[in-house]
């Protein structure tokens, strides 16, 4: 459910192992072979059982909040943690830690058998993580964008990120903002079965239709560089302005998500080309992976290049064997529990899923009749009408509010059918009453504090 183990270091990229340059003598990849490989590995077929969550945090020092925290201090906190497991890099409940390009810390839970196990294990590991940072006068801030006007800088110098920086800088500031000043909650669920109520195609449809509600309900990034942006989820707005070949949802799948995803992967621009140590990984401008397979690159691509290319694609939902939902802003405290529970309840309880799909249909009609991209190439999520409203207005939009409340009601019923979920159900219900029932989202708390001059960063509330 989560990525391979990566030791946290200043020059190591998160979420993926260091890969050598392609060896000589490897059979070049063909277009049909690439399509077949992607279709085969990105949707693992089977009964939904596993749940995971990845939570990202900004690191702030309240003694000098406007200054970036020294990477050495972050590493000191990380190195003090009680790591164990077979390779000595896991927290007590199995979570892995990585460092993002701007110094954000990410905790990735292991795949857990069911929602309750996922929540319990992640909470334990987050307790250890918070304690390690608090011992050094630091705190983990859960918000979708860094609200402070701190210098925007990269703390990782791996060639992947240098190539990424150059690629995104050619199209404006959005890529650099994404890399250094955004944080998210990513919920991971199994792809589903070949047919039936838990079929991959149905779950793929549901998570895309659910996207605007997840953006709106958990919008938590209204401030960037110390100023209100006019968007409840500035983070989602940033994503919508980046390279569309790697950030939009795939085209309509017509019942075959695997084929749609394979075409998406081939048509995305190549962000970096791995080369021997000391050489830059910069990719030729405008080169898609399909172009590369057809002979457009400096050398033939390999299967390893194709797999690595997939790690540089960032649509709202990314299939990695499981489904990784990437549209949710980071949340304060243990607020990550609520989107994790909401998504899992709606995906894993067929009755709740059907109720959610019915409630989401009016939002889906805003974007056209044919799926995530409906009317035109630029109308795909996150550039479509429903997604734009979600990022800007959140649940202050009447249609989004109605759909959000209906989805929370369906999830509440599903959690009522889940043995042992009483406390979790109460937590989700309390969030629904505090926020969408009142036309509010976590971003409104930040805006209230900004207007009152009460805090520089959002409060980290006690665990619910």
Predicted local distance difference test score (pLDDT) of residue 377 = 46
Closest to 104 (Cα-Cα) out of 52, 155, 31: 155
What would the pLDDT profile of 217-233 be if each residue is shown by its tens digit?
A: 999 999 999 999 999 99
Q: For residues 371 and 196, is the Cβ–Cβ distance under 8 A?
A: no
18: β partners: none
Confidence of residue 35 (pLDDT cuts 50, 70, 90): very high
Alpha-carbon gap, residue 397 to 215, rounded angstroms: 12
Q: Left if phi > 0, otherwise alpha if psi is -120 to 50, otherwise beta: which for 453?
A: left
Predicted local distance difference test score (pLDDT) of residue 282 = 97
Alpha-carbon gap, residue 233 to 177, rounded angstroms: 14
Closest to 178 (Cα-Cα) out of 270, 246, 266: 246
Predicted local distance difference test score (pLDDT) of residue 378 = 58
Predicted local distance difference test score (pLDDT) of residue 454 = 73
Alpha-carbon gap, residue 91 to 113, rounded angstroms: 18
The single residue listed with the structure tokens 């959610």 is 356
Predicted local distance difference test score (pLDDT) of residue 18 = 44
Opening angle at CA 393, ends 391 and 399, nearest 5 = 105
> Which is higher by pLDDT, 8 or 452?
452
Task: Report H helices in 182-224.
Answer: 200-217
pTM for the predicted model, two decimal places? 0.92
50: β partners: 113
Query: Residue 406 above 70 pLDDT?
Result: yes
How many CA within 13 A on the CB side of residue 73? 15
Question: Across the chain, what does the average pLDDT equal?
Answer: 90
Cβ atoms < 10 Å from Cβ of 417: 12
What would the pLDDT profile of 327-381 be if each residue is shown by its tens digit?
A: 999 999 999 999 999 999 999 999 999 999 999 999 999 886 444 444 454 579 9
Greatest CA separation found in the chain?
Answer: 65
Rounded to 5 degrees, φ, ψ at 138 are -110, 155
Contacts with 83 (C-beta within 8 Å, 6 or more apart), sequence order? 89, 90, 91
Closest to 85 (Cα-Cα) out of 75, 93, 73, 76: 93
Contacts with 357 (C-beta within 8 Å, 6 or more apart), sequence order? 205, 206, 209
Q: For residues 206 and 356, is the Cβ–Cβ distance under 8 A?
A: yes
Alpha-carbon gap, residue 310 to 264, rounded angstroms: 10
The structure tokens listed for 95 are 């979570």
Question: Hey, what's the torsion of the CAs at 301, 307, 312, 314, to 10 degrees?
Answer: 130
Confidence of residue 434 (pLDDT cuts 50, 70, 90): very high
Confidence of residue 462 (pLDDT cuts 50, 70, 90): very low
Question: What is the distance, to the nearest Å, from the Cα of residue 391 to the centroid of all Cα atoms in its chain?
Answer: 15
Contacts with 376 (C-beta within 8 Å, 6 or more apart), sequence order? none
DSSP conformation letters of 399-423: HHHHHHHHHHHHHHHHHHTSTT-HH
């Amino acid at each position: 459910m989560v990525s391979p183990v990566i030791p946290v270091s200043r020059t190591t990229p998160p979420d993926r192992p260091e890969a050598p340059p392609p060896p000589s003598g490897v059979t070049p990849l063909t277009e049909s072979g690439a399509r077949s490989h992607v279709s085969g590995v990105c949707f693992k077929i089977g009964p939904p059982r596993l749940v995971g969550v990845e939570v990202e945090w900004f690191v702030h020092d309240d003694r000098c909040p406007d200054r970036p925290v020294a990477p050495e201090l972050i590493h000191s906190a990380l190195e003090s943690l009680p790591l164990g497991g077979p390779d000595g890099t896991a927290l007590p409940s199995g979570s892995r830690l990585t460092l993002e390009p701007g110094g954000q810390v990410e905790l990735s839970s292991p795949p857990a058998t069911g929602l309750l196990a996922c929540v319990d294990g992640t909470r334990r590991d987050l307790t250890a993580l918070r304690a390690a940072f608090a011992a050094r006068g630091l705190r983990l801030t859960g918000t979708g964008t860094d609200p402070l006007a701190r210098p925007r800088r990269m703390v990782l110098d791996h060639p992947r990120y240098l190539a990424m920086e150059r690629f995104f800088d050619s199209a404006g500031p959005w890529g650099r903002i994404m890399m250094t000043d955004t944080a998210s909650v990513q919920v991971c669920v199994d792809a589903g079965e070949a047919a039936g109520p838990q079929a991959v195609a149905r779950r793929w449809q549901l998570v895309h239709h659910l996207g605007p509600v997840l953006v709106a309900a958990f919008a938590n990034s209204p401030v960037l560089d110390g100023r209100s942006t006019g968007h409840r989820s500035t983070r989602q707005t940033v994503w919508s302005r980046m390279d569309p070949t790697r950030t939009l949802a795939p085209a309509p799948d017509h019942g075959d998500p695997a084929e749609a995803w394979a075409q998406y992967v081939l048509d995305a621009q190549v962000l970096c080309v791995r080369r021997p140590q000391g050489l830059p990984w910069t990719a030729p401008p405008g080169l898609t992976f399909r172009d590369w397979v057809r002979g457009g690159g400096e050398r033939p691509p390999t299967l390893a290049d194709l797999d690595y290319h997939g790690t540089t694609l960032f649509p709202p939902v990314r299939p990695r064997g499981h489904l990784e939902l990437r549209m949710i802003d980071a949340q304060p405290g243990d607020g990550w529990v609520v989107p994790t529970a909401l998504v899992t309840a709606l995906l894993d309880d067929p009755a709740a899923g059907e109720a959610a799909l019915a409630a989401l249909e009016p939002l889906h009609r805003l974007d056209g009749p044919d799926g995530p991209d409906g009317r035109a190439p630029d109308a795909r999520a996150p550039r479509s009408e429903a997604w734009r409203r979600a990022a800007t207005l959140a649940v202050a939009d009447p249609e989004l509010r109605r759909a959000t409340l209906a989805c929370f009601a369906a999830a509440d019923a599903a959690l009522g059918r889940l043995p042992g979920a009483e406390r979790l159900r109460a937590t989700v219900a309390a969030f629904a009453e505090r926020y969408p029932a009142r036309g509010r989202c976590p971003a409104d708390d930040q805006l209230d504090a900004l207007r009152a001059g009460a805090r520089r960063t959002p409060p980290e509330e006690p665990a619910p």
